[in-house]
Amino acid sequence: MSRLISRRAEAIDASGIRKVFDLAARMKDPINLSIGLPDFDVPEPGKQAAIRAIESGHNRYTQTQGIASLRERLRADLSREMGKDVGEVLITSGVSGALLLAILSVIDPGDEAIFLDPYFVMYKHLITMAGGKSVIVDSYPDFGFPADRVEQAVTPKTKMLILNSPSNPTGMVMTPQQIEQAVRIARKHNLLILSDEIYEPFLYDVSRENRVYSPLSLYDNTLVVRGFSKSYAMTGWRVGYACGPAEIISQMTKLQQYTFVCAPSPFQEGALAALDVDMSRSVESYRRKRDLVYSKLSQKFEIQKPGGAFYIFPKVPDGMSASAFVEQAIANNVLIIPGNVFSERDTHFRISYATTDDKLLQGCDILLSLV
């Protein structure tokens, strides 16, 4: 039977996050600090809009690129944010769908894509699926943007620079200077910047006014992907979107015809309604949780304070691997993710603080007791 399995499939390991997710399903009331799953629910206007769409028969395919009302609203909002018309917007089946379509549209076998270590788990495997080569640039110990190292990694085969800010797994946010450095490198070497901004609403230490946040505001050859899963707790609805160079959006739309077909129809209506909901209370709640977990764990762990998302990435004590530490934590009913799921190193672990304060405090106390 093994001869029937493609080399492409065999080159990809099952996600370490999903393994922990499956483990959690078998445990009785674990302290689950593993999965990036918001602990608030979809806002009521989004739910009701989706229900109305289902009841009124909006259950069929939409246009491949998504419903016009959602695309037009996102184009207007993004254009206002970026200070220029961002062009066509493609509605995708989650940001993961957008990432797959983008990489398949740009990367040929042998092409290279650069991204920082630690990294979101999908990047390396999606590039492998496309036949490309991941060029992974170390950003330890502070998880900033090491411009010199990134530029040294560029070769004639480099096509893409992937940025993720706020970052999963570290929660770090690129500074305006770092974004400008990334744009300078991309412009010099004619690279596409793929800017993964799924956690963009969760920013804790910077103001959105008068700031450089997305590289698209500075560099036209940027493809931005965002979505509704984290900001509106629509993880199961699978609604994301992409905007950027017209020729790439066109190719992504074509590939979507033969893969996802379209994003789920009634949930596009729900996403449109959710855009008018003020989610600032949820963001403020996560800022408080960030401060809580940082103040607790920094007593014994070396940690870079995250500026966004809802993750923190502590370093395990010297002389111990993250995998071994995570095994101890799980034996004490705390689910966390070893850093080697997101990294070429096995020195850190990821905590998602998207949970109740009680669970977060219990989990932190247990982790501190293990040191």
123 residue type, one letter: Y
196 residue type, one letter: D
Place of tokens 């450089």: 212
Res 210: pLDDT: 47
Same fold, 2-42+279-369 and 44-274: no
Task: Please give the Cα distance from 316 to 118 (Å, whole number).
Answer: 15
Q: Which CATH superfamily is domain 2-42+279-369 in?
A: Aspartate Aminotransferase, domain 1 (3.90.1150.10)
Res 213: pLDDT: 79
Residues of the chain with pLDDT under 50: 210
| 3-state helix, strand and coil shares in percent for the chain, rounded to the nearest 5 | 40, 15, 45
First to last CA, the chain: 46
Task: Please give the Cα distance from 257 to 10 (Å, whole number).
Answer: 26
Task: Please give the Cα distance from 252 to 340 (Å, whole number).
Answer: 31
Q: Which CATH number fits domain 44-274: 3.30.70.20, 3.20.20.140, 3.40.640.10, 3.40.50.2000?
A: 3.40.640.10
Res 204: pLDDT: 92
Decide if 104 contacts 130 (C-beta within 8 A). Answer: yes
Closest CA to 142 of 167, 178, 172: 172
Res 25: pLDDT: 64
Place of tokens 């909901």: 277
Q: Which two tokens stand for residue 90?
A: 């493609």
Closest CA to 309 of 21, 36, 100: 36
Closest CA to 164 of 289, 342, 351, 355: 342
Res 209: pLDDT: 56
Report DSSP letters for 20-85, one per residue. HHHHHHHSSS-EE--S---SSPPPHHHHHHHHHHHHTT--S---TT--HHHHHHHHHHHHHHHTS-
Res 61: pLDDT: 95
Closest CA to 359 of 45, 13, 79, 37: 37
DSSP element (H, E) containing 224? strand 222-227
Q: Which two tokens stand for residue 194?
A: 């793929």
Closest CA to 23 of 329, 371, 340, 349: 329
Length of the chain: 371
Residue 166, SS3? Answer: coil
pLDDT digit string (tens) for 230-272?
Answer: 999 999 999 999 999 999 999 999 999 999 999 999 999 999 9
Question: Where along the chain do its domains lie?
Answer: 2-42+279-369, 44-274
Closest CA to 19 of 347, 326, 320: 326
Q: Which two tokens stand for residue 315?
A: 């370093």
Residues 6+ apart with CB under 8 A from 28: none
pLDDT digit string (tens) for 273-282?
Answer: 999 999 999 9
